[in-house]
Chains A and B, each alone.
Chain A
Amino acid sequence: MAEIKETILDYVKDEYLDEDDDKEINFDTPLISSGIVDSFSMISLKRFLETKYNIQIPDSKATAEAFNTVNNIVKTVEEIKSE
């Protein structure tokens, strides 16, 4: 679990923050509601999760709430993996 969290957090930082960005992101930082990730750019995060964890995330589960924090994302991934 801890490894997945770290992997996803690293991806989010690399994909969505600029090199000179002064934002700090942790596992509970809002990503969507804070504007760090928007619905347009969320697609790359979804693709990363699907490729990395060999899953398909249906649109019904790729919601703003499910993707709003790293913790929420991990929960969503775990749920889909266990189905």
Chain B
Amino acid sequence: MAFNKKERDIFKDELNNIRNAGIFKDERIICTPQDSEIKVEFPAGAEKKSLINMCSNNYLGLSSHPEVVKAAIKGLENRGYGMSSVRFICGTQDIHKELENMLTEFLGTEDTILFPSCMDANAGVFEAILNEQDVMISDRLVHASIVDGIRLCKAQTDTYKHSNMNHLEKKLQLHSDKRLKVIITDGIFSMDGDMAKLDEIVGLAEKYNALVFVDDSHASGFIGKTGKGTHEFCNVLGKIDIITTTLGKALGGASGGCVSGRAEIVEICRQKARPYLFSNTIPPVVVSAAIKVLEIISKNTDRKDKLEKSTEFWRNGLNEAGFIVKDGESPIVPIMLFNAKLSQDFAQDLYNEGIYAIGFFFPVVAKGQARIRTQLSASHEKPQLERALDAFIKIGKKYDILKKTKEEIIEIYGL
């Protein structure tokens, strides 16, 4: 052991740098199940406070649904707690195959492989299927896990301006000589809540013989007519070659992810994707609950419909109050404040008013694009959203930002 003062100071300095940059992350301790209303202890040791939760990915309100919890207990009783193995040694149960088949059916693809998380799916898929002769052409605002996956892969990389189809086309022309070209995008972009132009992307992919990769983590279960995702919304079902998504958001919210798509690509992931080969199988309790989630959302679209109505109420309320709200089709609703400190002060005031939402600023979002990101859930009831809206308006008035233009807010608070 050589963890002396010198070594300790190196890490202390780094932590201080993070603090000085204003990006130090503190965990809020939640003392209840995940829901639209939670009890939070923050800072540690403080009195627990009841808050309306406006920042979870629990889009369909299934994270603590009684039927899902019951299915998890049943899975625990029938298939045990852990498998003590990776999938390909002795970690694949009948329910893992059942869930993979259900996801294939639900997403409208050819085959599916489970990963411990979607982060792992994104980290593993590119390196498994591509080589130096190929190119990955990615939207510049894709999720960090995709960026990591791209960095782990030997294929060449390029990027296109966010959702800019002219720029994407130029890049496809530039790389026309590559063996495989893969266009990479999120379905719904997590910070802005906007949707990829998948119909146009598929059109370009067909024109230039490229594959299409979509991470639909912020869409699976609730975007599109039956909630299949952005490919259903954009009428390109069956035309996306690789979909990655998570079980950690709308689909039960526990953990786990998958690669779903062309059968051969999925099979190569089974043979070569390192996070699949070298990490434990998803525990039976999570698999059983996820199966129940898919059963619930395949029966009807009630939860998705409620989420859409709540989102509409929330967007309209904020717009009418005079906030600057990013347009979009998703339950991710960012309220633009532009100034980093204002976003932090606003979030703290919300917390004091019993509303839990997070302020984001550079480097998580672009400089001068600080915001409060709110996320709706099917578990939100209208009185909760009315209370949350009242709190936003009260604080908006305090900072005098209602019915102001971007330029006027920047004039008061700077960038």
Contacts and interface: CB of A to CB of B under 8 A. Distances in A.
Do A and B bind?
yes
B366 interface: yes
B374 to A, nearest CB: 23
Q: How large is the interface on A (under 10, 10 to 19, 20 to 34, 35 or more residues)?
A: 10 to 19
Contacts of B157: 43
A40 B147 contact: yes
Contact of A35 (B138, B159, B161, B367): B367
B45 interface: no
A7 interface: no
Given A35-B363, A35-B366, A41-B140, A18 B161 contact: yes
Interface string B149-174: 01000000111010010000000000
B367 A44 contact: no
A34 interface: yes
Contacts of A34: 367
DSSP class of A's interface residues: helix, strand, loop or mixed? Answer: loop
Counting chain A CB atoms within 10 Å of each CB, the highest count among B150, B159, B362, B363 belongs to B159
Interface string A23-65: 0000000000011001011011001000000000000000000
A38 B146 CA distance: 15
Interface string B332-351: 00000000000000000000
Given A35-B366, A40-B140, A40-B159, 12 more contacts: A18-B161, A34-B367, A35-B362, A35-B363, A35-B367, A40-B138, A40-B150, A41-B140, A43-B157, A43-B158, A44-B158, A47-B158
Going nearest first, the 7 A-B pairs with the smallest beta carbon separation are A35-B367, A41-B159, A41-B140, A35-B366, A43-B157, A40-B147, A44-B158
22 contacts: A16-B161, A18-B161, A18-B164, A34-B367, A35-B362, A35-B363, A35-B366, A35-B367, A38-B140, A40-B138, A40-B140, A40-B147, A40-B150, A40-B159, A41-B140, A41-B159, A43-B157, A43-B158, A43-B159, A44-B158, A44-B159, A47-B158
